[in-house]
Amino acid sequence: MNYDIKTESTPAETGCVVLAGRTYEVIRNWAPLPDSIPPARISTIAVDSAGRLYVLRRGGNPPVVVFSPTGEYLASFGDGLVFDAHGISIDAADRVFVVDRDAHQVICFSRQREVLFTLGDRHQPHWGAPFNHPTDVAVAPDGEIYVADGYGNGRVHTFTSAGVPRLSFGSIGHGAGQFMTPHALLIDGQDRVVVVDRENNRVQLFDRNGGWLGQYDGLCRPMDLLEREDGVLLVTDIVPSVSAYATDSVRLGRSRPSLNGAHGIAGDRAGNIYLAEIDPNAITRLRPS
């Protein structure tokens, strides 16, 4: 790992938005990379228990770059291990899960940045079975692992905490419980599996066994989602906008904090929200004010 500390940064641009009863200061170009890190496209982001931000990057090494809660560059890892970085998630034990989309694999890193295990057969896509161009991963509080198998299969696969396949649900289509591109997912505070169904312009809700519960409509190619600590669901889309939904699917607000449709969204325990933007690459921070 590289532990060089960033000492300089480009000036940030600031603005203001309101989302579901909260006002946020918008800080664009937050936490730029030091010159020692080669450029690559930002894919998405995740936050660990200490508030450190993990930025997943495509098309270059290192694939994972870590920043402090104040935006200082801390570390990088995963060189040569990730073929096509797409999704990232951090579980309660601060293990880092990276979805290697076109290698058809999920890689789990320890807190020490070492590979613990992988899911899927590397560079071997499987029709109907894990994986066929997966997009995202989420870990439930009990350790079960959920993977959105997005670009090929249009399914969600679940695994036990030991990585043993448990069940799969979904198929390609436009009906309830079907997907065109399951692009991101999470397990919410009501123990529901919440899935961004990007090309169907919606978010779908399931129980932990894949039973369909409902959906959130009125989105334009949604990308990623985050649950705030108050249960409000924030969804990014390509408009670009971030929409806020109550647990009963009522829209509570909408804003435009990013210049481009944010491909990733994450939040920390202090209430800060981070957006991963592509073309141009940037991290945008929303700070409660």
Nearest to 37 by CA among 75, 83, 71, 8: 75
Interval 104-152: pLDDT, tens: 999 999 999 999 999 999 999 999 999 999 999 999 999 999 999 999 9
Question: In the predicted model, what is the mean pLDDT of residues 76-94?
Answer: 98
**Which band of pLDDT confidence, cut at 50, 70 and 90, is reported for residue 8?**
very low
Read off the pTM: 0.94
In terms of C-beta density within 10 A (0-12 exposed, 13-18 middle, 19 or more buried), how is residue 69 classed? middle
Helices (H), the chain: none
Which pLDDT score is estimated for 220? 98
Nearest to 113 by CA among 180, 63, 41: 63
Which pLDDT score is estimated for 12? 56
Domains of the chain, each with CATH number or no CATH: 13-288 (2.120.10.30)
* Angle at CA of residue 256, ends 285 and 223, nearest 5°: 80
